[in-house]
Amino acid sequence: MDFKDETTLSRRTFVKGSLAGLALAGAAGSAALYGCTPAEEKEQSGEGAPAEEADQIVWSQCVVNCGGACALRWHTKDGKLLYAETDNTGDAEKLQVRACLRGRSLRRWVNSPDRLMHPMKRSGKRGEGMFEQISWDEALDEIASKLTETIEKYGNEAVYINYGSGVGSVTSRVFPRLMNLMGGYLKYYYDYSTNMMQAGMPYTFGEDWTDGGSKFSSSMSEAKNSDLIVLFGNSPAETRMGGANIVYDYTQVRESGPRIISVDYRLNESSSGQVDEWVPIRPGTDAALVNAIAHEFIVNDQVDKEFLDTYCIGYDEDTMPESAKGQNKSYKDYIMGTGYDMTEKTPEWAAPITQIPADRIRSLASDIANAKAPFIAQGWGPQRHSNGENTSRAICMIPMLIGQIGLPGTNTGSREANPDGIVGGMPKGDNPVKTSINCYQWLNAVDHGEKMTAAKDGVRGTDKLKTGIKFIWNYAGNTITNQHGDINKVHEILQDETKCEFIVVIDTVLTDSARYADILLPDAMRAEQPHMAGNGYAEYYDGVILGAQAQEAPGEAMREYDIVSNLAEKLGKKDEFTEGKTQEEWIEELYKKAADADGNMPSWEEMQEQGIFKRELNPVIGLKDFRDDPESNPLETPSGKLEIYSESLAEAAMQMELEEDEIVTPIPVFDPGFQGYGSVTDEYPLYCSSFHFKGRTHSSYGGVDELKQVCRQQMWINPADAESRNIENGDMCAVTSPAGTIRIEARVTPRIIPGTVGIPQGAWHDADMTGDRIDNGGCINTLTTYRPSPLAKGNGVHSIIVQVAKA
């Protein structure tokens, strides 16, 4: 039979189109066939033929904190990278740790002409990016003397190791180990990814809640037993992209048949190819939707009262703690309009807030209530708002209210389960300094640390900081500016060199943060050294990759372990730091330690041969033990139960010094928050949020031209909002918030809700900071405002208001 007939007859309706649009490219191409510049010509070098044959294939890994840690197999010749393959061991349909587009572009980063090659010392102002080359000896001498001087003058609390996640490896991120040998440093708590969630969730789930550990969440693979999956701001196709990551589990779950609903302000890539699964919502209003769903559960008698009475505290008066009884402070009172704000949370109340029609909310509530096993899961976007602490807890109310927790096919409302991991890193030692701040508070601690207190700023371990931060370590991270908040404010504060006196940045390229370094050191990449790391924290399997050096580091770039060892020598701590071991010896020791503890891993010799070890994990159901036997398996909350009303949070709130427009509530309420719903003005009439983008992991890979070309940095804007501003697809626009202005190309698309624009996070800041400060790179953190959230004191920065105009 002619295959053509077979395929076209049954699918006749699909063949109407043409690539007429694409013909544009061809038409342009005919004129531009030979139109490239000499520079481009040199770059192209006539490749495109089959790649040369490798003389060596070397295992390595992409480890930039996307949640995955994918395998790379470098094909090299004469010690030079030719190209990468990924994990191609075992069954292609099963567990293969396949790298995404970023990992497949890593060669471009490793071999970038922009790699840092030599130690440098700042010669201009901070942020200008002016440096002069110095020797390693000079650089390390200067760092050692400045560090010693800082500790003598201000104490160890004046030294800070900034958050960063651009590299993960068992022998990486060893600056804390050195600092602990030096008497300690000011620590941070939480992280930029899950800041508000980490503050809020423990009040409901208990002290040992982590950002989705396997106790509190179900694995995505468990959703195969679900008939309805509801995702809040959760797009594995954009945030969990590797072949062994959640996106593949999700794909398999989808094909097993459950209905999927995606609550998001964008029609995200996880709904690609689907129809009728997107419920568009205004960003930052998830808790309002939850309220209305809860209302429907209550009025339709769908609440599982027995579950709530047995497993939860504070749904209604029956389980309120003594301190709050008889005061209409229960969750039910809040929803039904007899409590907290005396407003009934009907779908009609929620519709204008969320932009979801009341009828749609009713049908959504009904679908969830009638599902046999609803799998409710949130991503980290909903909580990255100024009201994120409440939002993250609120989403978990849905399964709780209907008793759908701890049962097959269900989830707790948290993000999916993480595995525990089977290899550990070099021990960091003990930090004698017990003081810590939220990771987002470092800038305040530079600016006015001595005024920061526990009650006002969330300082932990002491009532107030003794000193501001005077010395910053910044290793493989970009949260000085690019990935922090309000870059313009950071710039101003760091200009005053009497505040933070010294900044050391260690990185592979000149990131925007690196421009603020006083000493800038060139780091070697994973492809340039022995390496070991486990699977990514989001990937639901057990794994290890043992990497080797595929290529020499360029110039004087040095491995982090050697940098710190050499510095430790200058500080008289080398023996304690290295314990007499090389990086290779540490890796071997750490592997053997893990293998001994596990009992089922390959021997060290076998591992050196095979490079990768991977083991599937059975699906897990969050809070199953608690559901099965709450008496024997109490939670680590004061009551041992799920606390809808948290007495300890009510007490903690009493101790906090909050701004007038800030609230911290013992039940998860909808509060619009700073620059949240209702805050738009004539000057800033649009909401703006951000999203993780396939072309980058945070800002990592942001300099790779091949990725930038196929993943253009564009602002998503609904046709209605574009039309009223005369903006057409592809137009260059200015986006202005109270904090700053970026220039960015418009992507006019129906895939975003009207009234809100969406900007992919992580683009490299590119502004003349001594001039107009307009950011031509389109970095979201030029627009974000530096205002720590009420409870976490974290980066609830995706509550933004803006104006957009054609530039």
Partner 1 sequence: MQYGFFFDNARCTGCKTCELACKDYKGLDASRTYRRVIDYEGGTWETSPDGSVTQNCFVYHISLACNHCSDPACTRVCPTGAMHKDDLGLVWPDATKCIGCGYCTMACPYHAPVIDQVSKKSSKCDGCRERIATGSKPICVEACPLRALDFAETSELLSTHPECASSILPLAEPEYTHPNLFINVSDAAAYASEHGKGHIANYDEID
Q: First CA to last CA across the chain, in angstroms?
A: 58
Q: Which stretch binds partner 1 (CB under 8 A): 141-149, 185-193, 267-275, 377-385?
A: 267-275
Question: Which among 498, 566, 511 has a CA at the least distance from the CA of 154?
Answer: 498
Of the pair 238, 775, the CB lying nearest partner 1 is at: 238
**Burial class (CB within 10 angstroms; exposed 0-12, middle 13-18, buried 19+) of 456:** middle
724 binds partner 1 (CB under 8 A): no
Q: Which stretch binds partner 1 (CB under 8 A): 94-102, 111-119, 257-265, 284-292?
A: 94-102
Candidates 117, 597, 710, 805: give the one binding partner 1 (CB under 8 A). 710
Contacts of 99 (CB under 8 A, 6+ apart): 62, 70, 71, 72, 84, 86, 87, 106, 242, 243
Candidates 119, 280, 409, 622: give the one binding partner 1 (CB under 8 A). 280
Of the pair 302, 713, the CB lying nearest partner 1 is at: 713
Candidates 355, 392, 481, 741: give the one binding partner 1 (CB under 8 A). 355
Nearest distance, CB of residue 214 and partner 1, angstroms: 23
SS3 415: coil
Site for partner 1 in 224-243 (CB under 8 A): 237-238, 241-243
113 binds partner 1 (CB under 8 A): no
Candidates 129, 183, 352, 738: give the one binding partner 1 (CB under 8 A). 352
Of the pair 216, 684, the CB lying nearest partner 1 is at: 684
600 binds partner 1 (CB under 8 A): no
Site for partner 1 in 360-419 (CB under 8 A): 360
Of the pair 17, 599, the CB lying nearest partner 1 is at: 17
**Burial class (CB within 10 angstroms; exposed 0-12, middle 13-18, buried 19+) of 595:** buried
Question: Which among 489, 442, 433, 492 has a CA at the least distance from the CA of 469?
Answer: 442
Nearest distance, CB of residue 773 and partner 1, angstroms: 27
Distance CA 414, CA 311 (A): 17
Site for partner 1 in 452-471 (CB under 8 A): none
Of the pair 45, 632, the CB lying nearest partner 1 is at: 45
Of the pair 14, 660, the CB lying nearest partner 1 is at: 14
747 binds partner 1 (CB under 8 A): yes
Distance CA 523, CA 557 (A): 5
Question: Could you tell me if 557 and 110 are in contact, meaning their C-beta atoms sit under 8 angstroms apart?
Answer: no
708 binds partner 1 (CB under 8 A): yes
How many alpha carbons fall within 13 Å on the CB side of residue 92? 2
Nearest distance, CB of residue 705 and partner 1, angstroms: 4
Q: Which stretch binds partner 1 (CB under 8 A): 134-142, 374-382, 563-571, 705-713?
A: 705-713
Nearest distance, CB of residue 467 and partner 1, angstroms: 47
Question: Which among 115, 121, 86 has a CA at the least distance from the CA of 100?
Answer: 86
Site for partner 1 in 46-75 (CB under 8 A): 46-51
Distance CA 197, CA 234 (A): 14
Nearest distance, CB of residue 479 and partner 1, angstroms: 26
Question: Do the bridges between strand 642-643 and strand 732-736 make them parallel or antiparallel, or are there none, so unpaired?
Answer: unpaired
774 binds partner 1 (CB under 8 A): no
Q: At what angle do helices 286-299 and 347-354 cross, to 10 degrees?
A: 160
Distance CA 574, CA 564 (A): 9
84 binds partner 1 (CB under 8 A): yes
Nearest distance, CB of residue 75 and partner 1, angstroms: 9
Nearest distance, CB of residue 278 and partner 1, angstroms: 7
Candidates 306, 709, 726, 771: give the one binding partner 1 (CB under 8 A). 709
Cα-Cα-Cα-Cα dihedral of 214, 217, 219, 224, to 10°? 150
Of the pair 262, 435, the CB lying nearest partner 1 is at: 262
Distance CA 654, CA 658 (A): 10
16 binds partner 1 (CB under 8 A): yes
Of the pair 13, 498, the CB lying nearest partner 1 is at: 13
357 binds partner 1 (CB under 8 A): yes
Nearest distance, CB of residue 746 and partner 1, angstroms: 12
Distance CA 106, CA 155 (A): 41
Q: Which stretch binds partner 1 (CB under 8 A): 85-93, 127-135, 370-378, 520-528?
A: 85-93
How many alpha carbons fall within 13 Å on the CB side of residue 711? 23
Distance CA 65, CA 201 (A): 22
- The neighbouring-strand residues paired with 460 are 436
Nearest distance, CB of residue 76 and partner 1, angstroms: 13
How many alpha carbons fall within 13 Å on the CB side of residue 387? 26
Show the beta-strand stretches assigned E in 462-559: 471-475, 502-507, 519-522, 531-534, 541-547
Candidates 85, 344, 367, 562: give the one binding partner 1 (CB under 8 A). 85
Q: Which stretch binds partner 1 (CB under 8 A): 145-153, 490-498, 609-617, 744-752?
A: 744-752
Of the pair 625, 723, the CB lying nearest partner 1 is at: 723
Distance CA 423, CA 490 (A): 37
25 binds partner 1 (CB under 8 A): yes
581 binds partner 1 (CB under 8 A): no
Q: Which stretch binds partner 1 (CB under 8 A): 88-96, 136-144, 210-218, 560-568?
A: 88-96
Distance CA 249, CA 231 (A): 14
Nearest distance, CB of residue 13 and partner 1, angstroms: 5
Of the pair 181, 711, the CB lying nearest partner 1 is at: 711
278 binds partner 1 (CB under 8 A): yes
Candidates 56, 88, 603, 770: give the one binding partner 1 (CB under 8 A). 88
354 binds partner 1 (CB under 8 A): yes
Q: How many residues bind partner 1 (CB under 8 A)?
A: 100
Candidates 751, 766, 776, 807: give the one binding partner 1 (CB under 8 A). 751
Contacts of 261 (CB under 8 A, 6+ apart): 228, 229, 230, 231, 277, 279, 364, 367
The residue behind tokens 């979201």 is 780
Question: Which among 526, 491, 548, 541 has a CA at the least distance from the CA of 700?
Answer: 526
275 binds partner 1 (CB under 8 A): yes
Q: CA angle, corner 747, sides to 804 and 279, nearest 5?
A: 95
Candidates 707, 746, 757, 763: give the one binding partner 1 (CB under 8 A). 707
Question: Which among 405, 411, 412 has a CA at the least distance from the CA of 630?
Answer: 405
